[in-house]
Amino acid sequence: MRRIAAAVCLGIVVAFLVAAALLLHPFGHPPSQMDDYMIENSQNETGTNNVVAAVLFDYRGFDTLGEATVLFTAVTGVVMLFRVVKKKEEEHK
């Protein structure tokens, strides 16, 4: 019974993967006009030669703020974790 359920689940996943592969846009034809807009206007609007940097810090700056927050949380967590260990060692002495 479990084998049948597993086979059905696998079939569904494979069907979705094949459907997604068939529905991909052809290479070089992006689905929206946003890509062409950024490539053509990033040098005029942001004065940045590197379009990736223009997207990262200007057009999608809020996303980068989230990334920086993720890094800040990770650093805070690591430092907090190792500090707690130190404090407990001192208490046991």
The enclosing H or E element of 85 equals: helix 61-92
- Is 27 an interacting residue with respect to another protein (CB under 8 A)? no
Looking at the Cβ atoms of 11 and 66, the one nearer to another protein is: 66
Distance from C-alpha of 10 to C-alpha of 18, rounded to nearest angstrom: 12
Query: Least Å distance between CB 27 and another protein?
Result: 21
CA distances from 52 to 30, 48, 74 (A): 16, 9, 25
Query: Least Å distance between CB 83 and another protein?
Result: 7
Looking at the Cβ atoms of 35 and 45, the one nearer to another protein is: 45
Query: Which residue is associated with the tokens 């002495």?
Result: 93
CB under 8 Å to 31, separation ≥6 — which residues? 25
Quick one: which of 14, 74, 88, 91 contacts another protein (CB under 8 A)?
74
- Please give the residue ranges that form the binding site for another protein (CB under 8 A): 40, 43-50, 52-54, 56-58, 61-62, 64-65, 67-68, 71-72, 74-75, 78-79, 82-83, 85-86
